[in-house]
Each structure stands twice: as C-alpha cells, then as structure tokens.
Chains A and B, each alone.
Chain A
C-alpha cells in the first residue's frame, strides 16, 4: 500500500470516529485535521459547496434526495457516506407557537444556505412521531398512515422510540455533518462560513448521546475499516469493497421504491412521506464463520443465485437489480429442496405494480461499540413498511420443517431488532413543527 493510500484510510476512519463521537471537540478535531496542508488526499480538504439563498429552488419533498445523490456505473443512487440521527423532544408545554415554528424554519434555512443540497454538502429531513401529534386536539388526516411503532415479528421485542422529532443529517463530509449538528444545537454560530439565523436549542431538547444520538456510515470500504466492534468475529473477512457489514451491496435501483411511489399524494401533507427507523444489532459470527460465500448468497439473495453463481463478490455485477424478484415463485420449493430461503427473495414478495413499496436509506453503525444497522426507510404509509417487513420475516414459511423463525430464514439469525420508530416527513413547506392539519 502506498503511504498516501494508507493516510487516506486513516483519515476516513478518523472522520467516521469523529462523527460517532460527536460534539464540538470532535468537530474541532475534524476541522483541525482538515487544515493539515500536507494531507492532500483529505476528502474534507476540498471545500464544501455552499447552499442557496432561494429556498424555493429546493424540492418541496424533504425526501427528494435521489436527484442530489451521485449514481454509480449502473444508475444506482449512492447514499451519502456519513449519517447522524437526532431524536429530540419539543421543549415547550402545550402546542408549538408561531415564533417557535419560525425559529425552526429559520435554522433549517440557514443550513440550506450554508450547504449545497447534495451529498457533498448536506442532505437532511425532519420527521414527527405520532406522539408529537398527540398534543393537538385534532387528529392527523386519514391521508397520513402513521401508527405508533410496534414489534413487527413474533420474535422481536424492540424498545419503541417515542421522541417527538427525528432529524436525519447525511453528508459525504463528516465535518459538514458535525458542523450542521453543532449549529442546530446552538453550539456554533457559523457553518461553512454562513451565519446561522437561529438554532433549535431553545425549542427542542436535543440529545448528546445514544440512544437519542445515533450515527452511521455506508459506502465501499467503510465497514471493512470499522470492523473492530462487537458482533464481527476476528475471522471475518468483510470485503474491502463492501458498502455494508454483511458483505453485499444493497439498494439496487430496481429493488427500491421510487420517490414518487413513496410520496403521500393528497391531503395537507401531500408531498410528504413516512419514515421508519429501526436499530438492528448485527451478530455476524455465524454469518462469516459457519457459512461460506455460497451459503451467504443463498441467505441474502436466494438459493438459485447461489446455485447459478449469479452474485460475484459483493454483487457489483448485478447492475441495478438484485434479481431476487425472479426467485419469488420458487420460494416454497427452495424451502424444501435447498433447505433455506433468501432475504431478498422473501422481501420481493411485497410489491405493488411490480415495484417495491419502500425506499431504503439504511446505513451501518458502531454505536455502543456494536456492529449495527440503522434501517431507515421511507414509504407512503407505515403499512407499506409493515407489509414489506412481514414478507421479509417469512413466518408463513415455517410450515416447511427446514425453515424456522430465524434459522435458514434469510438473515434473521444474525439480525436483532432493538428499537423501532415511526415518523412523518412533511413536505418542506410544513416541516417546522406542523399541526396535524396545516394549511
């Protein structure tokens, strides 16, 4: 390895750690290192592109990220590398005031002025939970499908996130991410050279640490560089080019819902969407030690992919489609003959008009020193997520003796759901402390 490459990896690992730790000291360290003139390979050396003074130039959908993300060679949207989720509570009594709404909107617009709406700059969403809307006399309209979070399989017992608000920040630049977070908390007045007009500190109780503050990363090499956490065995060979801990690419364009497809079409929140976020503990000892690559392909995709050698390495050769949809019809047969069924194969059963109904924007994590996955997905209604998760759980397949709740049943032997939360992402016009019936 050339010294510059080595320095590049150290740098990436450093930035990821800084995001995970958070706070002003991490930010200073991040910025401090960026200032090292000799370190020309630094990703954060390049200046972070500035945003816009014209909020109307931005898409009305908060979840309209695809247009702001780069694409890979196959046309798959590539999610930003670094992520922070901030679970916050409304600090006031009763219902939010007009002034508080203005403060929130002003803070968010400051970020949009400071950072380009892109993964090189900053992408973010603000979501509101059922618990948030409970404080109003009016109920949410029927056009919004937002139940309280719940356990979604018979074998999980997650803690249910009931914070009022969740802010999701994403960027390829760890420094930009930390700066945005500190600015929202009121710990810094300027971000990317732009002065903040307001911050959220007086309106929301913002978290400093897990579980309120959650962090993560996704992208080629990051999991392999961050594999010294519990849940990843020493013997595991997480592929260098894998974007996720489990060693395969995901989020193929054809296996994702479209942004149009997940957008609420009518009512006061038309243009919005719903967001489900679960925290999943990964336990990959058996995944990497007991199983070989063929078995992993079988459980991640489908047995036919394993038999036919469809998946090379992390699955770059699959292009823009995992092909698991073609395995759906043989699922019962695979259960009997191959003795297992695949995760993608099961999930592909949940489709509408031939297309998946959820849009995954999930990322790995080292929160609490554990290998984890923040499974974040947006969909028109939470019932779309529930239908997908039910198909994915495959509890209907346990009539076949080979398939048990969690063994030989996709990847459920290695994934432990610890938390779930449901949120509404209103359209940008109503993103600041909305009432249930904004006008």
Chain B
C-alpha cells in the first residue's frame, strides 16, 4: 500500500484509523520554534538542537558510507547566490543523512554525487538525489527529508556517482571516480525517533557561535585540518563571509614542480570544511601579476578538500588576493543559512 492509498483507507475507517494517521504526521517538528526574525549575517546558534540516530555503515569500491536519521528539518538550498528555504512537508517522516568517506584515510568525500533509494520488502518507498549539506554538529554530509511508510525495516541503497569537478592528488589520484552502491539497513520507528534528543535553545538562539561537532561518533567528520596540521608553510588565515580561509604553500611532487598554494575554507568555531565554492587568486610581485586564475577543487589525502593553484614559487613580499566568486553551493541546516553568502576580497602578504 502506498502512502496515498493508506491515507485514503485511513480516512474512510474509524477514528482509531484517523488517530494512527495523525500520529504518523505528528512529530516534534510541530513544536519547532520559528526561524529567528533577526538572524545575523553570520553563523549563529540555531533555535533548537536535535540529535540523530546512527543506523548502519558499509563500504564498497573506494567509498565507505553511513546512514543516519533524525526529525525532519527545515533547510536551505543554495543555487548561485539564491537561498531558498525548504520547509518540512506534511508527509516528511525523517531527515535521512548519509556520510561518505574514504575508508583508508577517513577523509570525508564531498561532491560524490549521492542519491538514495529507500525500499521496504523490495518495494520502492522513495528514491531521491540527496543534497550536499552543512550542519553545525555534522559538517559536510548528504541529506534530505523523506516520507516513509511507518515503522519498518527499510533498506537504503546509497548510490554514489563518484567525484565530479574535483581533482584528486597523491594516493587519491584516480580514486573516487567509479560509481558504486552500498545497501544499508535502516530500522525506523516512530517511538525510537521520539527518543532522539531534542532541545529548544532559546537562551543561545541567534548567538554568534555554533553547536559543537559530534566528535564522539564512530564516523569521520568533515573537519578541516588545523593550519599546523597541514603540510607546508602557512601563509596566513583570512576571513570573510564568516568563513575562515587557511592559506598554505607547499612543494610536493604530487602537485608538480613549483609551489602549490592550497586554500582551505572552513567554518568558524568548529572548523568544518566548506566545499563547492568559486575562488580566484591573484598573486602580485613588485607591481607585476605572477598568477591570476580560478583555483580548482582538489581532494588530497593530507590537505583534504581544498582549492589549489600552482605557480613557480611564492616569494617573500608577494601579495595574494583571494576572491570568492560563487558562494559555497551546499544546502545549509539552521544556523548556517545566513553565513558564507557574501564575501569581500581577502589579501595576505607572504612573509
């Protein structure tokens, strides 16, 4: 029975049927506080904090994946510079999240092109492309709200298309391009969902801070390495649009002969990597422009996901200008939707 048939059937039966029907639709979302009217144009503490339930992990090909769920969320999609709020639909039962990482290095893989097919007893319940997303506790992941068919054991087929628009370097060279599929079990129940932690946070909502990362989970998170963990020399850290950009210069065979300038954008407070933005760099030396190009997205085992440009060398006194041309094209959970949208040029001097 599909959901529509179920609702039609329920509507035509007794009040007990109707009660079940409303029970299906009633979740904590009914009690979610409204979006704040005076949000800062920056990262802020959301109105409420929800936990989530880890369901299963698996691996196939070059990828490992985990599936989790929580209450349905409102979230915001970003296309170009346009931010669109996606409200919870009446039939949404859960926010299903998928994390994808490299099982060898535990580096999180953004831009892997993920869709999921949810089945119950081999019947298709749903199939959707799920969005690359940023949330404060989880950082980068893939997610969307889903309608489900009540309490049941579901299979979530995680279909990974493979990296697109990202160069791979070092031991990652040539990896993550082959598509693969990982079947994960999701045992969903209304009762268990209601046990997932949920806290309204009126005292902190709107503060310029972030919910802490869920680091205790047995799953790698998309936390960008700190500047001193990155190989090479740190040129500096710049900040705009409430994002931090660590700029690193490294010489390594895997990047070719000269100097690889790696720019690693991350969120403030919990340092989550920010993928999928457009970034240009100009390097000026004694009134001469020695580099003026768009930086490409690179996935490297040591740097993780970053934006890179290669030039012969960086010299002391060089002036680097970085310009974000396209805001990060990732959907945002609450608290990130007003940040990382409008950027000023950043300048750094090479010491």
Q: Which residues of A contact B (CB under 8 A)?
A: 151, 153-157, 228, 230, 234-235, 281, 283, 285-286, 289-290, 336-340, 369-370, 395, 398-408, 412-414, 416
Contact = CB atoms under 8 A, between A and B. Distances in A.
Interface in B52-101: 77, 79-82, 84, 86, 89, 91
Nearest to B328: A401
Contacts of B278: 336, 400-401
B4 A234 contact: yes
Contact of A399 (B89, B113, B165, B325): B165
Interface string B158-188: 0101101100000000000101010000000
A339 B80 contact: yes
Interface stretch (B128-136, B191-199, B313-321): B128-136
A429 B24 CA distance: 61
B73 to A, nearest CB: 14
Nearest to B82: A339
Contact of B165 (A290, A400, A413): A400
Interface string B104-119: 0000000101010100
Contacts of A337: 80
Given A337-B80, A402-B80, A404-B164, A370 B326 contact: no
Contacts of B29: none
B164 A405 contact: yes
A151 B162 CA distance: 14
B178 to A, nearest CB: 8
A194 B227 CA distance: 83
User: Looking at chain A's contact residues, is the secondary structure mostly helix, strand, loop, or mixed?
Assistant: loop
B162 A154 contact: yes
B276 A154 contact: no
A46 B82 CA distance: 54
Contacts of B325: 336
Contact of A157 (B89, B111, B159, B296): B159
A370 B126 CA distance: 10
Contact of B131 (A336, A400, A402, A407): A407
A145 B111 CA distance: 35
B127 interface: yes
A414 B131 CA distance: 13
Given A339-B79, A395-B164, A404-B329, 13 more contacts: A157-B181, A281-B124, A281-B127, A283-B126, A340-B80, A399-B165, A402-B79, A402-B80, A402-B329, A404-B276, A406-B113, A407-B129, A416-B127
Nearest to B166: A398
A58 B138 CA distance: 65
8 contacts: A154-B161, A283-B128, A289-B89, A290-B77, A339-B329, A369-B2, A395-B164, A398-B165
Contact of A401 (B4, B162, B179, B277): B277
Interface in B220-263: none
Contacts of A405: 113, 161, 164
A346 to B, nearest CB: 14
A339 B179 contact: no
List the 9 closest pairs (A to B, CB-CB), nearest first: A339-B80, A155-B161, A405-B113, A398-B165, A339-B79, A398-B164, A413-B129, A406-B129, A401-B276
A289 B91 CA distance: 12
A231 B177 CA distance: 29
Contact of B113 (A151, A155, A228, A340): A155
Contacts of A408: 79, 329
Contacts of A154: 113, 161-162, 164, 177, 179
